[in-house]
């Protein structure tokens, strides 16, 4: 099936990937005091839960284009969503500060490609006359994540446990992975661009 016929499913799948990445930039903020007590960390140490994610994402984002040229867009997207989802589970299962910081580093590394890839896919599946409205829809996902993050994180932490701010990514990540695997057409890797 062509990308045009599957446009709604592709849009939904890449929006889920965008939302979980954007959500995780802010969802853990309100859970930090609970993590601090649970992991026996100082206030300075617990901020590494946030910092490690941001630093890893900032370092890995510029590699997205090269990785797509080397391995193909769909494969990089699938690995990124799967890695982000697994890293989210590791964050929720962490028992020490070192474990959660390492898991957040992994989450940032895998999550770095989600926003640029979802934007690229949205541009590719929409004809030029519909790209403006498609990018507006995509922009809603980018904005909803950080806005919803603190509210959702606070509710999950108060109602359940701080670990659920990470476990919430598991069903969303699984749905995004399935949609990307099922509906995005496979394009061959170009392997033409050297690493710069």
Q: What is the pLDDT of residues 147-165, one digit of tens each?
A: 888 888 889 988 999 999 9
Instruction: Flag whether pLDDT at 6 surpasses 90.
Output: no
Angle at 21 between CA 113 and CA 6, to 5 degrees: 75
- pLDDT for residue 3: 56
- Please tell me the distance from the alpha carbon of residue 196 to that of residue 194, in angstroms, as a whole number: 6
- pLDDT for residue 4: 59
Q: How confident is the model at residue 127 (pLDDT cuts 50, 70, 90)?
A: confident
pTM metric for this prediction? 0.89
């Amino acid at each position: 099936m062509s990308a045009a016929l599957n446009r709604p499913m592709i849009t939904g799948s890449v929006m889920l990937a965008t939302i979980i990445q954007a959500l995780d930039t802010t969802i853990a903020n309100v859970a930090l005091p609970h993590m601090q007590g649970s992991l026996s960390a100082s206030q300075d140490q617990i901020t590494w839960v946030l910092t490690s994610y941001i630093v890893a994402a900032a370092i890995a984002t510029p590699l997205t284009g090269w990785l797509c040229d080397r391995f193909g867009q769909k494969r990089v997207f699938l690995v990124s969503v799967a890695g982000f989802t697994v890293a989210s589970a590791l964050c929720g299962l962490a028992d020490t500060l070192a474990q959660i910081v390492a898991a957040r580093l992994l989450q940032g590394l895998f999550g770095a490609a989600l926003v640029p890839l979802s934007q690229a896919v949205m541009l590719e599946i929409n004809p030029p006359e519909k790209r403006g409205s498609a990018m507006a829809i995509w922009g809603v996902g980018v904005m909803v994540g950080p806005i919803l993050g603190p509210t959702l994180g606070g509710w999950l932490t108060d109602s359940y446990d701080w670990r659920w701010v990470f476990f919430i990514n598991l069903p969303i990540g699984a749905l995004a992975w399935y949609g990307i695997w099922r509906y995005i057409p496979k394009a061959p890797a170009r392997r033409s661009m050297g690493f710069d």
